[in-house]
Each structure stands twice: as C-alpha cells, then as structure tokens.
Chains A and B, each alone.
Chain A
Amino acid sequence: MSRYTNARLSPDSLKQLPLKPVEGFVLSRVDADSTADDVAASTGLDAATVQLALDRLVELGAVRVTGGRSQMPAARMSRPPEEPLQGAEDVRAAPDVFTAEEFELVHLLEARMLLANHYVLLGVPLSADRRAIKDAYYELVAMVHPDRFRGRNLGVAAPRVARIFAAVEAAHEALASRDKRARYDDSLSDANEPLTSPQVTAVSSGQGRAVAPLPDEAPLSSGRLAASTSHASGHMLARKLGRAPSVAPPPISSSPPSSTQGPASARSEASGHAIAELRRRYEQLAPLAKAEKLKSLVSQGEAALANGRGAEALQAFRLAQSLDAHDTAVLRGLTQAEELAAPEIGKNYAYFAKRAEYAEQTTDARAFWEAAATRAADDAETQGRAAAALLRLEGDASVALRCAGRAVLLEPKNAVFRALLGRAYLRQGMLRNAEREALAAAELDATCTELIDLRRELTSRAPLE
C-alpha cells in the first residue's frame, strides 16, 4: 500500500506549482504517511479523483510516496546512511517541474530510447560522420545533463532524466570509435536491436531491468509532438517488419518542431543513403543468426512469463514474431503475454490519459481512457477511473457505461462504482436504472461524493421526464 507524505514545500515554492484547486485541496489534507484512503476520507472526494491528484502531486514533488516496491536506503560509501548534514541537497531544492520545452524534449527522447537505436537517439543518420555524431551528442548531453536540473525538484521525473543521460552517454560511447561503431552497425542488421536498449546495455553485469511497457502505438500523438510521433511510428513499423529503423529522426532543437523544416531535403537524401545501407546489411542477415535469435527471444519471453513480467514477455514475443510470424511457440507466447501484460499496458494508457488531461488534450485523453479500460478489463479501479473520466470529459457515454458496469461487476459492494454506473445510465437516458444504482450506492455509503453528484444530476433531470 502506497503511503504519501507532504513534502512541506515553502509557501513561495508552492505558489509556483501549476496546481488545480482540487489538487491544492488534496495536498492540504496529506500529512505524514497518509494512505489514499485517508486522504479520500478527509477530503470527501472519490478515490479516483484523490488518486489522480496524488499522482500529480507526486510528479510535481509536492508529495513524497513510499511503499510499493520498497527500496533499501542508499549508503554513502564511507559511512552508514544518515540524515543529511547541515546544508545538504534537499534543503535547497526548489520545486520546479519541466518547462514546456524540457517536457517535450524528455518525452521525445524517451520515445527514441524505446526504439533503442543509438543513431535514432542522437538524431543522426546512419551515414553521419564522426563530427556530426559528436556535435549531436554534445548538443543533446548539454540539455539532459543532470546538472542542468540541479536544485530543481523534479520529483519522480528525476530518474527519467538520469536514464536519458545514461542512454545518450551509451549511444555516444558506442559510436565514438571506429571499431566500436563498426561492431554496433553490424549488430543493427540483426533484428535483435530493440532489446539491447541503452538502459540495458548500461547495466553491465547484472540483468537489465525491464523496459517500461509501451502501448502498441506510441501514445504521443498530441499536437506539439506531431513531428516526432510520425518518426516514432515509422520506426515502430520498421520494427514490426523486423528491421532496424532506417531513417534518422529530426535533430533536436529547443524550438518547436515546426522550425526543423529547413534542412528536410538534405536529411531525406541522407536517409536515402541510410535506407540503402540498411537494406544491404539486412540482406546479409544470416538465416542461422535469425533462428538463434528467435530461440533466445522465445526463452527470454517464456522466462518473463514464468516470472509474471508480462510487458517484458510481450516485448520479447513481439520481436520474435517479427522474425517468424508463424512459429507456434511464438504465437502461443504472444497470446499469454498479451493477457499477462494487458493490465500493465492498461495502467500505462491510464497514465498517458491523465497526462493528456493535464495538457487539456481532451480528445487524446478520451481515447487513452478507452484504451486503458479495454486493456485492464479485470481491474476495477482502472474501470472506475475510466468511467469517471469519460463522464467528466463527456466522452462516449456507452463506453463510460460499459466501464462502470464492469467496475460494478468486479466490485459490487463499491458505492463509488455504483454511483458512477448510475451517472452513466443517466447519460444514456436510462433514468430508472440510474435511480436503482443511486439506491444501491446509498445503501453502501450515503456520503460518497459520486453519489451526491448522481443525486444532483437526477434532480436536475427529473422535471424533464
């Protein structure tokens, strides 16, 4: 069970946070070691809203979260773990989230990292010369070096920056010398590439951590990210075809993507070379290596399945499928992995949905919520949150109804879900059903805020009938 602790930011710092009133209210009720339930109880808000606000507060660094996967405390080398001495880092930390540009940069780079190609990450074509690689690397590393974010409280985003930095370093390292680059280029022609992502290669002797699961389509299709998205899905396509990405993504610039129009033709020429180069390599791919790879992917996937790591399994089997679309072991694994990974992917979609909501990209948010609900079909909480969100965002009422219905089916004794279902019925004009749910909810918990909303909606609706 996650526990939340107020980070007790100074009033001045707090004022700088982009909080919505409800988030401010939730924050005011977070003490030390509160659970989400505590907060829900003391705010009178529904669990989904509270969770949403808490997640957001954690992301902003206003609230610290403990519990879940527990971490043993870090130890400084020369002495046992202790409280910081006077003047230590966190006292100074002023809360500050990413600026819009940084936000965009971080997401773009994370998307590139998932493609796990050093050239893609650095934003250079396969044919780039040493100078171009260096320049791209320096430009990028200056933007993602942890010092650039020093003294700012990035909350849970801090390790993301660290990971990107490590990946950029690894990319440059792999392409820095002629020998290493030749070796890396060879490995590219082998379709195994996406598994040896920078995060994994950065880990030397231990096993790599699972890469965060990615929904099928890169869920970044918001207006501002359009340019990068088209590339991202292009690579995704390439990956599905069992090929390494063939086109270099646009170089990063801190100005909006539209300004990268200029050198497009030069780039397409360069990428033309790159494609030819890649095709040549791909055709050399030894069938033997392919079979070998297939075998190792399948066993990797099966091990992940056995350990309950669905996303990892899915990734392995998807790659395996790209090598051989008819192998029975692969297809079987794929089905199992999809099943196992679905809730995880669903949660991911929920996360992207929330983010879209904050960015006020309502259309995206609705689509992501629907996707989340489809995936996490057996997770009452996700169903409930999706239902609440779709009602709030005025999304497809029939989907909201389905989600709420599913939530109630899974947890019939949950007043919030009942009330949500009632509201969904009402949206669909099924007044009688709505009233029935209101009664059921009232029996379970008469003070539930969703129920209050439902009652209000019912009374404002009644005269029309």
Chain B
Amino acid sequence: MKRVIGIDLGTSNSCVAVLDGATAQVIGNRGGYKTTPSMVAVTETGRKLVGHIAKRQAITNAENTVYAAKRLIGRKFNSPQVMSAVRHASYRIVEGPHGEARIALRSEILSVPEISALILQELKIVAEDFLGEPVEQAVITVPAYFNDNQRQATKDAGLIAGLDVIRIVNEPTAAAISYGTSQREGTTVAVYDFGGGTFDVSILELGKGGVFKVLGTAGDTFLGGEDVDERLVDWLVAEFEAEHKVDLRSDRMARQRLKDAAEKAKCELSSVSSTELNLPFIISNERGEALHLQRSLSRAKLEELTADLIDRSIDICLDALSDAGLEKGDLDDVLLVGGMTRMPAIQRKITEVFGREPNRSVHPDECVAIGAAMHGASLVGAEKKPLVLLDVTPLSLGIMTHGGGFDELVPANTTVPTSRVKSFTTSRDGQTRMSIIVQQVAKDREGERELLGEFALEGISSKAKGAVVVDVSFAIDANGIVAVEASEQASGKKAAITVEASSGLTKPEIQEMQKSAAHAMDERRHGEAIESERQAAQSLVGEVERLLENLRSSAGDSSVLGATMAGIEAVLSQAKLLTDGRDPSKLKALLPQLERAAQMLRSLGN
C-alpha cells in the first residue's frame, strides 16, 4: 500500500511525517533537521532555493527571498492583511490577475500557491528519499481559522506540487490526534497553538471509539511569532532613529538583518533573562558614515512589548471555551503547540488563567505533522484502529441578500461535513438566470465578510415569476471546503453554475503550474546529477592540470611526450567545456578518459 505523508505547512517552519510501523515519525531533511524553514528564494542565476539554504542567503538576497508566504495564501491583494505585509515584507508583493496577492521574484511573478508548492515539493522529496518509494498522497494541515479561499489555495498548492491532497486538516486538531491516542476517553482538552504566523485554539473531546470531536474553535490568522518579531523590530527602529536620525526601514537588507536579530533575541530570551543585539555596519548616514546597532534587551522588556498580543490570544481562548459551552474547570488539559509557546510569558499566563500547568507532552514543532500522518493513514485504512475526526467550520457561511445583508446558512462551529438547502424562486417573469453571492464571516466581525464566489445559475425554465423553485445546497466537506449545488425543484431542466467572482486559480492555470513545477523538479534532479558528475570531473581536471604542469617543468617539451601531452590537453579542454554545459551523460562518458590521463601522468611523474 502506498503511504500517505502528513505535512505541517507552517508560516515559519514546515514538517513532514509518515506512519512507520505502528507509530508516526517525523522525517529529517537532508541537513538532518526535523523542520524545514518555509522559505523560498531565487538566486541571481535564476535557481530556486528552498528551506535552510534559502534562509542562509536571506540577508544578502532579501528582495528575492520569500518568508511567511502562508500569510498571503488565498488572500486578495487589497485586503488589509496583505496591505500590511506589503509594508513590512522585504520581497515584492503584487496584484495577480484575479485580484489575489502574488510575489515578484526577479523576472518572474509567482502565485502564492506556487511558492507553497515549492516547499511541499521539497518535503515530498525528503519523504521519498526516506521511504525509498514515490509519494503521491498527502494530508496537509492549515490553521483552524482558515477560510474556504485559503483552504482551497492550500489544496491547489498540493496539486501544483504533484500531490493528491486527500484531506486538509486543522492544525490544532492534528496536534490533538498525536496527543489524544494516549489519553483516556472522555478527556476534554484545549489546544493552544501559537505559531509563526497564526494563532488557533480548539477545544476537543476525545470520545468513545477513537472519535475526536471539536467542540469549538477560534483563532486569528494574523497573530503569531512574526508579530512578536515585528514588535521588536519596531522598537529597535524607533530607538535607532532617536539616536541616529536614520530610518532603518528604508533599507531592505537592514530590515532583513533586524528581523533576523529580533527573532534570535526573542528565542534566546526564552531561556536567558537578557541578551545582546549586535548588528555592526547596519546602515550608513547621509554623511556616508557606517552606523552600528548595539543594544541589550531584557526578557521583561520583551514581555512588556508583546503583552497585548498574548492577552489577545487568551481572550480568543476564552471565547472558544464559551462557544463550546464549557467553563475553565471542564478542561482536563491545555495542550501547548507551536514554537512561540516556548516563551515563558505564555506558559505563565496560561497557568494563571486556567489554574493549571499546561501540558507540554507533545513536541510543539512536530506534533501537527505527526497527527496529520496518523489521520492520513487512518483515511486510507492503514491504521488498525481508525480515527474519526469531527471538526467544525470556524466561520459562518451565508449569502448576501438584497441590500447587502447577510443571510446565515451555516453558523460557525457547526460540525462538518454538513449541508443546507435553501430554495430560491424567480422574481421576474421569464427569468432564466439567478445569481447568488456566497460569503464567509468571522464571529463578531460582520463587517469583514470574505467573498467566496458569485454563482450564476443558468438555464432555469422560463416561467412566470415565482413559478420556478430552485433548491440550492451549500455543503461544507470534511476539508472545510465549500461546494454549491443546485437543482430545479419541479422540472428536470438542466442549469449550470458558473463562478464569477473568485480569487482562486483557474484549472488551466493550475495545470500549467503543475506542469512547470514537475518540469522544474526534473530539471532539479537533472541538475543534481550533473552537479555530481561535474564535481568529479572538476577534481580530476584539477589533478591532471597540476600533474601536467609538473611534468612539463621537469621534462620540458620533449618530443616523445609531446604527442601524449597534446592528447591530454585536448581531453582537458573538452572536459572544461562540458563542465560548463548541461549534459551529464557526455561528461560521464569523458570521465574514464580523464581518469586514464591522470593515471598515466601519475605513473610518469613517479
């Protein structure tokens, strides 16, 4: 049976796991790390770099290095979140053909799903190398608070990466799975997931027979470690400006260095109480003098700068609890997930608010991927004891009514899969077309409705007004993805649905991207092959040149050796030409000749 991988596609870090025997395990990448930075870069020569290697060159190539792309996925360019990212990001965000956010990298403009696909592809390779077999199916996790557009875009990213995404699972739910299998039935747990870009909380009950029921969920897709870092950067920038009258934000490279230093300091302050930030030559003033940033930062200061962010997360937690109809005392455990939960202030706050030490038994960086792998295995029947997830939809789903009102069809926190049928009647004589605008809304945020699409039903029987009734069903599947289906109540007449306003990629676009991603993957595999041949050839060429030089200086241009030497020179120049080329097979064919020449020269030299 083909194996299903579980992928935690994080804002800062991504992780892949697979069921190996009875337990799921995280697969280390080539560098031996269990998580891979969610970063993608394009080098000067147009090569794409993913993960640690992209992170390493981020400072020198800030404009062409993408981080936190997850904050942009499935979002419209003119949304407030993207607008804020445009201001802060060191890379360029532009508007795509459907009004969505895209990213400009050197000569290319890439959609966000394509960026995510590069990360997914990298993890796919990591898994394939580990398993020694091709991987086709994956379960990918998303923040519980993601809307339909974001989920759909994540699924598209999987498709582009050549993966069959058998399920999109919510991150806190996946974390609960990796925690829950060792817990007793009837446990009620709150999963507090503070990651790099998003904050999520889900309240779950572990029911009889391997059922995980989400009782309520809440979150903020724009609250995470990135915001904590941003606070620090703001503070550093302000302090620096007061001292030197220079705005550090004006320089992309300085911005990237600041961000890095801020994150590093934040992480250090989780274990020590004070740290130094040291960025020499960060910028020059108008007189051309180099300026240095040097500053010490205490844990207390960090906590002061970020207290409101942590408070916000706690408020969201309490909201979720009350939505689930529970009180603090009903919780058996509070589970900490996400890198940010290493921050002592967060742990302290939770202990304070919930009156209990949080549970830290699961690995905050790995449990999401592990849970996803376990669910994947269960879905394809590879788990002996199947898991059943009853997740909920985080947002309420409805349609826009005349005059711009919102008619709620599926309230937030409804168990999925679910569907609702609503009947529409024609309002004009001879009307053959109807248009329905579908929206999703976060609780208490009526104003910020997310448009999912405008559906046009066409080919409705032409009759007197009110005579035709069309049943439209709105379904939310187990992925949290919405589908609309329509049937005319009385007649059997066929009508089609077309989506008019949507920010998602179209099918041809996805197929095109899928093709070019597959092509790039081949190129890359090919590139790796040529690279190893090239390295072998280069070291031989170096050796032959050195030996040849030695021979020449010791024996001179004696006529006996002249012909041999000329022959070797010819092989050498051919080899040099081929190491610059793109065909590894020719280079491979030349290797034995080089080897023979080296051997001959070695024996002559002795």
B485 touches A77 (CB 8 A): no
A142 touches B388 (CB 8 A): yes
A121 shortest CB reach to chain B, Å: 16
The residue in chain B whose Cβ has the minimal distance to the Cβ of A146 is B417
B421 touches A76 (CB 8 A): no
The residue in chain A whose Cβ has the minimal distance to the Cβ of B504 is A78
A142 touches B497 (CB 8 A): no
| B 471-485 binary contact with A (CB < 8 Å = 1; else 0) | 100000010011111
Set of chain A residues within 8 Å of B499, measured between Cβ atoms: 75, 77-80
Instruction: Give the residue of B423, B452, B478, B487 whose beta carbon is less than 8 angstroms from that of A147.
Output: B478
Set of chain B residues within 8 Å of A81, measured between Cβ atoms: 496-497
Given A79-B507, A141-B211, A148-B386, A86–B497 Cβ distance below 8 Å? no
Set of chain B residues within 8 Å of A145, measured between Cβ atoms: 388, 390
CB-contacts of B145-159 with A (<8 A): 148-149, 152-153, 159
Which of A17-25, A63-71, A233-241, A414-422 forms part of the interface with chain B?
A: A63-71
Residue A209 lies at the interface, judged by CB distance under 8 Å to chain B: yes
Q: Give the complex CA separation of A228 and B190 in angstroms.
A: 39
Residue B514 lies at the interface, judged by CB distance under 8 Å to chain A: yes
Residue A138 lies at the interface, judged by CB distance under 8 Å to chain B: yes
CB-contacts of B469-513 with A (<8 A): 471, 478, 481-488, 492-499, 502-507, 510-511
Residue A204 lies at the interface, judged by CB distance under 8 Å to chain B: yes
Set of chain B residues within 8 Å of A216, measured between Cβ atoms: none
B158 shortest CB reach to chain A, Å: 10
B418 touches A206 (CB 8 A): no
Set of chain A residues within 8 Å of B485, measured between Cβ atoms: 71-75
The residue in chain B whose Cβ has the minimal distance to the Cβ of A151 is B380
B136 touches A87 (CB 8 A): yes
A236 shortest CB reach to chain B, Å: 28
The residue in chain B whose Cβ has the minimal distance to the Cβ of A165 is B417
Residue B207 lies at the interface, judged by CB distance under 8 Å to chain A: yes
Q: Give the complex CA separation of A176 and B213 in angstroms.
A: 13
Q: Give the complex CA separation of A177 and B388 in angstroms.
A: 22
A105 shortest CB reach to chain B, Å: 14
| B 448-475 binary contact with A (CB < 8 Å = 1; else 0) | 0000110101000000000000010000
The residue in chain A whose Cβ has the minimal distance to the Cβ of B471 is A206
B487 touches A71 (CB 8 A): yes
Instruction: Give the residue of B208, B484, B497 whose beta carbon is less than 8 angstroms from that of A135.
Output: B208
Set of chain A residues within 8 Å of B514, measured between Cβ atoms: 85-86
B494 touches A85 (CB 8 A): no
Please give the number of chain B residues whose Cβ is less than 8 angstroms from any Cβ of chain A in the complex: 66
A70 touches B390 (CB 8 A): no
B484 touches A77 (CB 8 A): yes
Q: Give the complex CA separation of A162 and B417 in angstroms.
A: 9
Set of chain B residues within 8 Å of A166, measured between Cβ atoms: 418-419
Q: Give the complex CA separation of A73 and B423 in angstroms.
A: 17
Residue B381 lies at the interface, judged by CB distance under 8 Å to chain A: yes
Residue A205 lies at the interface, judged by CB distance under 8 Å to chain B: yes
Q: Give the complex CA separation of A145 and B482 in angstroms.
A: 18
Set of chain B residues within 8 Å of A85, measured between Cβ atoms: 159, 507, 510-511, 514
Residue B210 lies at the interface, judged by CB distance under 8 Å to chain A: yes
| A 130-170 binary contact with B (CB < 8 Å = 1; else 0) | 00001101110110011110110000000000100110010
Q: Give the complex CA separation of A176 and B422 in angstroms.
A: 26
Instruction: Give the residue of A80, A88, A141 whose beta carbon is less than 8 angstroms from that of B390.
Output: A141
B507 touches A177 (CB 8 A): no
Given A72-B488, A72-B494, A135-B208, A78–B503 Cβ distance below 8 Å? yes
A70 shortest CB reach to chain B, Å: 4
Q: Give the complex CA separation of A134 and B187 in angstroms.
A: 13
The residue in chain A whose Cβ has the minimal distance to the Cβ of B207 is A138
Given A77-B453, A148-B386, A206-B471, A72–B483 Cβ distance below 8 Å? no
Given A72-B487, A146-B478, A151-B381, A77–B452 Cβ distance below 8 Å? yes
Residue A462 lies at the interface, judged by CB distance under 8 Å to chain B: no
A251 shortest CB reach to chain B, Å: 12
Residue A82 lies at the interface, judged by CB distance under 8 Å to chain B: yes
Residue A203 lies at the interface, judged by CB distance under 8 Å to chain B: yes
Q: Give the complex CA separation of A203 and B419 in angstroms.
A: 8
A74 touches B484 (CB 8 A): yes
Residue B438 lies at the interface, judged by CB distance under 8 Å to chain A: yes
Residue A207 lies at the interface, judged by CB distance under 8 Å to chain B: yes
A209 shortest CB reach to chain B, Å: 7
Set of chain A residues within 8 Å of B209, measured between Cβ atoms: 138-139, 142
Instruction: Give the residue of B388, B410, B418, B487 whose beta carbon is less than 8 angstroms from that of A141.
Output: B388
Set of chain B residues within 8 Å of A138, measured between Cβ atoms: 207-209, 211, 213
Instruction: Give the residue of A73, A79, A141 whose beta carbon is less than 8 angstroms from that of B502.
Output: A79
A78 touches B502 (CB 8 A): yes
The residue in chain B whose Cβ has the minimal distance to the Cβ of A74 is B485
Q: Give the complex CA separation of A67 and B492 in angstroms.
A: 8
Residue B325 lies at the interface, judged by CB distance under 8 Å to chain A: yes
B413 shortest CB reach to chain A, Å: 11
B328 shortest CB reach to chain A, Å: 18
The residue in chain A whose Cβ has the minimal distance to the Cβ of B457 is A72
Question: A78-B149, A138-B213, A207-B423 known; 18 other A-B pairs, CB under 8 Å?
Answer: A72-B485, A72-B495, A73-B496, A75-B497, A76-B483, A78-B153, A79-B502, A81-B496, A86-B164, A135-B208, A141-B390, A142-B388, A145-B388, A146-B417, A147-B386, A147-B478, A151-B381, A177-B325
Partner-A contacts on B (CB < 8 A): 136, 148-149, 152-153, 159, 163-164, 207-211, 213, 325, 378-381, 386, 388-390, 407, 409-410, 415, 417-423, 438, 452-453, 455, 457, 471, 478, 481-488, 492-499, 502-507, 510-511, 514
List 25 interface pairs A-B (beta carbons < 8 Å), by A numbering. A67-B492, A72-B488, A75-B484, A75-B498, A76-B152, A77-B148, A77-B481, A78-B453, A78-B499, A78-B502, A79-B502, A80-B497, A85-B510, A86-B164, A138-B213, A139-B209, A142-B388, A147-B379, A150-B380, A151-B381, A162-B417, A202-B420, A206-B422, A206-B471, A207-B423
Kindly list the 3 A-B residue pairs having the minimum CB-CB distance in the complex, ordered from nearest: A78-B504, A138-B207, A87-B164
